[in-house]
Amino acid sequence: MILDIRAFEPALIMQIFVLLNPFSSLPILMTAYKQKINAKKIALSSTGIAFIIAVLMVFIGPPLLSLFGITMDSFMMAGGLVLLLLGINTILLEEKPVKSVNKSDTLVSIIATPLLTGPATISFITIKANEMGNLALLSNLVFAFLLVGLVFFLFSVLIKHVTLKFVSITSKVLGLFLVGLAIEMIATGVINFINAH
């Protein structure tokens, strides 16, 4: 896959990064580390699987909408609502330490989806794939996931110094941006829907 450098959009990369919100996965990785489970391997595997899911949605998302007869405007409003609920939940939810975790394979599945590529991320990717094309979106998607990988790497290096409070505050800040992005999507979907009818 050849990345289209001209298609890089810093704002879009950050939007995808906010949706992926790797900070929401850190409490699980903290507990895995304390239980002597290979947190680095879990983070790497989770990011890889989440990326594969995201790439698949770039290609099959728009055709699925056509198959079910769903207009992009309607899906944009629905996706915006999902993002809004996720953002509000992220802001209001109190981060609690994860007391114990199971085997690493289960943790990889949980972090990959729904924490990284959940319904909100899938909805956003489907909408953007329809708007800007596959290659352009993939170029930005790669960079967003590289940022996620960077967060996990830095966390693995600084894990002894990272507190749950820091993770909670950072996640809530991203949640606030997520709410803003959701409102933007809903407003655009409503305006386009009204203009089309």
Q: Give residue-wise pLDDT tens across range 107-141.
A: 888 899 888 999 999 999 999 999 998 989 999 99
Phi first, then psi: what are they for 133, rounded to 5°?
90, 160
Q: Which residue has the tokens 């709410």?
A: 179
Where along the chain do its domains lie?
A: 10-196
The answer to whether 70 and 137 have CB atoms below 8 angstroms apart is no
For the residues of 39-54, what is the DSSP string, one character each? Answer: HHHHHHHHHHHHHHHH
Q: What is the pLDDT of residue 63?
A: 95
- pLDDT above 70: residue 167: yes
DSSP, collapsed to helix, strand or coil, labels residue 36 as coil
- Alpha-carbon distance of 85 to 78, in angstroms, equals 11
Better-predicted residue by pLDDT, 54 or 1: 54
pLDDT of 16-74, one tens digit each?
A: 999 999 999 998 888 888 888 888 899 999 999 999 999 999 999 999 999 999 999 99
- pLDDT above 60: residue 1: no
Looking at the chain, list the stretches that DSSP marks H as alpha helix, in order from N- to C-terminal side.
10-20, 26-34, 39-67, 72-92, 104-110, 119-132, 134-158, 164-196
CA-nearest of 85, 75, 71, 151 to 118 is 85
Better-predicted residue by pLDDT, 160 or 147: 147
Residue 151's pLDDT band (boundaries 50, 70, 90)?
very high
Please state, as a whole number, how many other Cβ atoms lie within 10 Å of the Cβ of residue 153: 14
Average pLDDT of the segment spanning 72-92: 93
